[in-house]
A and B are shown apart, each in its own frame.
Chain A
């Protein structure tokens, strides 16, 4: 069984209107799978649940949450984190020696594994006396709640987290694992729709926008990357997913290889926004 064409169109229009993310024909199965738990909870089949969306704001919010969540894992793909530890972090430590402050943005953070993976690396590698701020943003308020709680199921813990880091940074609470307060204090969350103008977003030394722009059409992707450029320090870094690129997205970005990882650097001809005040000091290297 699959949802009707009318239902699929209604949902894909909703997601596109609210988030600019594309659900193209062929993804009916995904919409059905994501909405089935919500429909069952409401005592409806998926088509009936979708039919009530125009009249039910809470159902619309929950539908958007269910359809905008990306699968994630700890240290996803490994190589970008290796590049961060081996090359990007040492470079930024040298460039920011005067201020001893780093700002990192985990954009489209989902349930927070990317932000906390970075926090674990910074906990291990940040020299004493440094302050780091990791801003985790997502369009899903449910996901931001999860990031703040810092709790993960056993299945999630198995996804790419080295056992040595599990025992160092997590404690078991019932059937879940909770990230320690030290790492939680490094990560600030904020609701942010990448497709909408950024308001009061500071300039970052590193932006991770991984495995998300593939879900936008080219015009929206160009717009997002242009605005992300304004939030990236002139000597900073942008990391996209391994299948994503700034090619065809204007002249704001230069591409640079770090090992087998391609990173994106602000082009000399482009400039960042004037730096804003800090989010708040989140970690001082001890």
Chain B
């Protein structure tokens, strides 16, 4: 599995990279939507893009609409990971073609839960997880 992490914050990219790497993902990073499109146009075919909304040059919402406008990229799963938390914004992102939406701040478990929902992380029985009354 390969994840394209798109966020203008290097710290956030690092957090996401470590999170998905722990789940077995290879990663590529981009600092804005335009740079991410450059990767796709160069032939990168990630299984999932983790997309911030507010970025310079090209925001995440525009990136989603651009990806969805190109049939060659229809197999790429798109997941917003953003501080934008209004109901109307989530609806807007889903309508534009995002598959999932995670609102910052998030936990590593939240990213894993969503990737599992999307079929990008194999379901594991509870026995493989730390099980405490937590």
Taken together as a complex, chains A and B put the C-alpha atoms of A260 and B127 apart, in Å, by: 14
- Knowing A172-B86, A242-B127, say if A157 contacts B134 (CB, 8 Å): no
Taken together as a complex, chains A and B put the C-alpha atoms of A115 and B131 apart, in Å, by: 21
Interface of chain B, helix or strand or loop or mixed?
mixed
Taken together as a complex, chains A and B put the C-alpha atoms of A28 and B5 apart, in Å, by: 39
Q: Check B117 against A162 for contact (C-beta < 8 Å).
A: yes
Taken together as a complex, chains A and B put the C-alpha atoms of A211 and B91 apart, in Å, by: 33
A67 sits at the interface (CB 8 A): yes
Of listed B101, B102, B127, residue having the most chain A CB within 10 A: B101
Question: Measured between C-beta atoms, what is the minimum distance from B50 to chain A in Å?
Answer: 13
Q: Check B85 against A73 for contact (C-beta < 8 Å).
A: no
Q: Check A155 against B105 for contact (C-beta < 8 Å).
A: yes
Chain B interface bracket (under 10, 10 to 19, 20 to 34, 35 or more)? 20 to 34
Q: Check B103 against A158 for contact (C-beta < 8 Å).
A: yes
Q: Which of A163-171, A229-237, A247-255 contacts B (4 or more CB under 8 A)?
A: A163-171
Taken together as a complex, chains A and B put the C-alpha atoms of A215 and B132 apart, in Å, by: 9
Taken together as a complex, chains A and B put the C-alpha atoms of A157 and B104 apart, in Å, by: 11
A159 sits at the interface (CB 8 A): yes
A79 sits at the interface (CB 8 A): yes
Q: List B contacts of A67 (CB < 8 A).
A: 133
Question: Measured between C-beta atoms, what is the minimum distance from A31 to chain B in Å?
Answer: 10
Tally chain A residues at the interface, Cβ within 8 Å.
35
- Knowing A30-B132, A77-B123, A242-B125, say if A157 contacts B103 (CB, 8 Å): yes
Q: List A contacts of B102 (CB < 8 A).
A: 158
- A21: nearest chain-B partner, CB-CB: B133
Partner pick for B126 among A30, A69, A241, CB 8 A cutoff: A241
Residues of A within 8 A of B (CB): 21, 23, 27, 30, 67-71, 73, 75, 77-79, 154-155, 157-160, 162-164, 166-167, 170-172, 211, 214-215, 241-243, 260
Residues of B within 8 A of A (CB): 85-87, 90-91, 93-94, 98-103, 105-107, 109-110, 113-114, 116-117, 123, 125-127, 131-134
Which 10 A-B pairs rank lowest in CB-CB distance, beginning with the nearest?
A: A158-B110, A163-B101, A160-B113, A242-B125, A242-B126, A71-B134, A243-B126, A243-B127, A167-B91, A158-B106
23 cross-chain CB contacts under 8 A: A21-B133, A27-B133, A30-B133, A67-B133, A68-B133, A69-B133, A77-B123, A78-B123, A154-B105, A158-B103, A158-B106, A158-B110, A159-B109, A160-B113, A160-B116, A160-B117, A163-B94, A167-B90, A167-B94, A170-B87, A214-B131, A215-B133, A242-B127
